[in-house]
Each structure stands twice: as structure tokens, then as C-alpha cells.
Amino acid sequence: MENRNCSMPAPAFYTSMMHNFHIISFPLYIVTLNALFRESSQIFSTYKYFIIVHIIINIISECYVSFMMLPMTYLPHPMFRNTGWLADLGFSGMFIFYGLAQSVMLTVGSILEMFFFRYNLISVYKNDLFKKLLRFQVLLYRFLIIIHPIVAITTINYSIGVEAKATMELWLSNPNLPPEVTCYSCIIAVLDDYVMYIITVIYGIQVILQLTVSSCVLFYILNFVKTCQGMSTATIKLQKMMILSLFIQGGIHGLLIMLPTIFLIYALFFKSEMNDLAISLLMCVAYHGFVSTCAMILFTKPLREKILPFKIRIQTQPSNLRGASQDRFSTSRLSSQNRSNNLT
């Protein structure tokens, strides 16, 4: 224990990548925010503020993981040691982890709010069971965002005590582990901590809510525009573009956040010690917002045309359907001309 160095930094390459990737991500955020604030079209009059809030949350989450947290792993053990600014300031690993969880909740919550907003746009005058269920799910997610820090703050002292005991036992039973795993900035999954199960239930419910709301709204809107209930072709294309772009963004967030989690679970069960791969995957947690923003630009045509200096054609429907639509249009136009000639 006398050789323990709790201020030992993370690997240099990992730290450099975490810090310096902002050179790419920050300019993209600034350009995107500028384009959104300058966007004056009717279709973005309110929706753009949802996107702006989402991007700001992405920036905060990105900075939190790469500067404030900067975690490193000790596979195959289920633990992290934080090496960022908060660790240097003396905050506990559990407090730092709760901050990460809250930022992820806000990120996912902003996506959920955008899905609910897209649904409300086409169901203004409806008040059926489906709408009531969606509203309940959104309200429940908001409640969990509020209750999470309350549960975390009121139980953190107990959890830190349980964690400290479990960490010391782990270190004593594994002589190959460095003494840094007993540092205050470390966090470990402790099965004897009942609070962990409460927090896990909160996370699980939120995942279910996000999956159900996003999937239900996606299929509802696609089915709605398919029936073409008094909507123009331009409006149908716009609704499809918006909801598909939003679904892709949500999928990217989910994939890049879950990928490191799945690998850590795999490492825990199969005793993998690929720490270099594990800390590289942690970059996915830091920069999922950047990848999501790139997808939003690519799949949202108004933003793409304002931001990208060159045109990218993204096919949103099969070419044979477009060809069939053009054939029907040409046939109807030819028939109209024939009728006009007959009248003259």
C-alpha cells in the first residue's frame, strides 16, 4: 500500500486521443449549432430547439468523460479507476460514475423527447390510449431522471463503505493487481450492495422506455404517412426523413454506449485481460454524441445542405418505387394532354 500512486495517469496514447479528438468534434458542434440558430424555415421553428439542447448535452457528456472522468480498466475485474480532473480534486469513483450515468440519461431523454414531439405533430387532435401510454412513458422517464440523483446522493456514503471493503478484499485475494485499485477514485461492482440493484432497475426501466417509445413512434409515423391522410408528397418525404434521421441518431447512441458495456460483461465471464481494447472502446462512450451529430447532418436534408459544402444524395426509397411513381406521373400527364387535344 505504501507504493500506491492514486495520481498515476492513464496510458498516454489513450489520454491523448481522449483530449485531442475535440479538435475535430468541437468545430462540428459549432457549425451545426450556428446552422440551427440561423435556420428560419417553418419545419424547424420549434424542433430545432430540441436539437440544440440535444447537441449541448452531447458536448457536456463528451467533456465529462474525456476530461472530468477519463476512466481506465483493470480487466477481467469489473472496476474502473478514474484519472480525470474530478479524481484529482478528490471526488470518489462512485460520485464520478453517477455523473456519467446522469449525462447518459439526459442524452437518451432528449432523444425520447424529440420522438414524442414528432408524434405530437401528427396527432394534435388525438387523445386515444396509445397517446396516453406514450405520455405516461415520457413522464415516467422524466421522473426517473429526477429520482436518480436523489437516490444516489442519499445512499452514496453507504455504497462507498461497502465498495471500500470489497475493493480491499479483491486486492488482497489478487496479488497481481496493482495497489491503485484501492484508490478512492476507483469504482467496482459490488453484488452485496443493495443500492446497486435499485440503480440497475432504474437504468433498466429507462432502456425499456427508450426502446418502446422510439420504436412505437417510428412505426406509427411510417404507417401514418403510408396512408397519405391528406398530406402532400413533400410533407410525406419530410416526415419520413425526420423520423428516420432521429431513429438512426438514437440507434447510434445506444450502440456506442452499449458496445463497451457488452465487452466488459464478456471480459468478466471469459476472464479477458484486453485492457487496451477496453479503454479504446471507452472512447465510444465519450464520442457517441459526435457520431450521432454526424448522422443527423447526413440524414437531415435541410441541415446537410446548409453545412456540407458539397451535395450528397441519400436514397430514402428504392429506385424502382421512384421509377414507378415517375411512370404514373408521366401517364397521368399524357392522359391530361390527350383529353385537352380532344376538347380542342
Contact between residue 151 and residue 202 where contact means Cβ atoms under 8 Å apart:
yes
Sign of the Cα pseudo-torsion (150, 155, 160, 162, in order): negative
CATH architecture of 12-313: Up-down Bundle (1.20)
Question: What single string gives the DSSP state of each residue in 268-285?
Answer: HHHT---HHHHHHHHHHH
Q: Which three cell numbers stand for residue 293?
A: 451529430
pLDDT at 311: 56
Q: How far is 118 from 121, CA to CA, in rounded Å? A: 5
- The pLDDT profile of the chain, 344 residues, written as one tens digit per residue, is 557 788 888 889 999 999 999 999 999 999 999 999 988 877 778 889 999 999 999 999 999 999 999 999 888 888 899 999 999 999 999 999 999 999 999 999 999 999 999 898 887 667 788 889 999 999 999 999 999 999 999 999 999 999 999 998 888 888 788 888 889 999 988 888 899 999 999 999 999 999 999 999 988 888 887 776 566 777 778 778 888 889 999 999 989 988 888 888 888 788 888 888 888 888 988 999 999 999 999 988 888 888 886 555 555 444 443 444 444 433 344 344 444 444 33
pLDDT at residue 156, rounded to an integer: 95
Res 206: pLDDT: 93
Which residue do the cell numbers 452514496 mark? 156
What is the C-alpha to C-alpha distance for residues 237 and 120, in angstroms, rounded to an integer?
18
Q: Which residues contact 226 (CB under 8 A, 6 or more apart)?
A: none
Q: Which residues pair with 80 in a beta bridge?
A: 73, 187
pLDDT reported for residue 16: 93
Q: Which residues contact 155 (CB under 8 A, 6 or more apart)?
A: 195, 198
Cα 133 to Cα 105, 116, 124, 129: the distances in Å are 20, 11, 15, 6
What is the pLDDT at residue 178?
85
DSSP 201-217: HHHHHHHHHHHHHHHHH
Distance separating alpha carbons of residues 227 and 234, to the nearest angstrom:
14
Q: Where are the domains of the chain?
A: 12-313, 319-344
Distances (CA, A) of 161 to 65, 92, 184, 255: 25, 11, 11, 33
Q: Identify which of 260, 259, 289 has the alpha carbon closest to the alpha carbon of residue 60.
A: 289
C-alpha cell at 277: 481494447
Give the per-residue pLDDT at 312: 56
CA–CA gap between residue 275 and residue 277 (Å, rounded): 5
What is the structure's pLDDT at 125? 67
The pLDDT tens digits for 214-236 are 999 988 888 887 776 566 777 77
Give me the sheet containing 71-74, strands edge to edge: 71-74, 77-82, 186-188
What value does the mean pLDDT of the chain take? 84
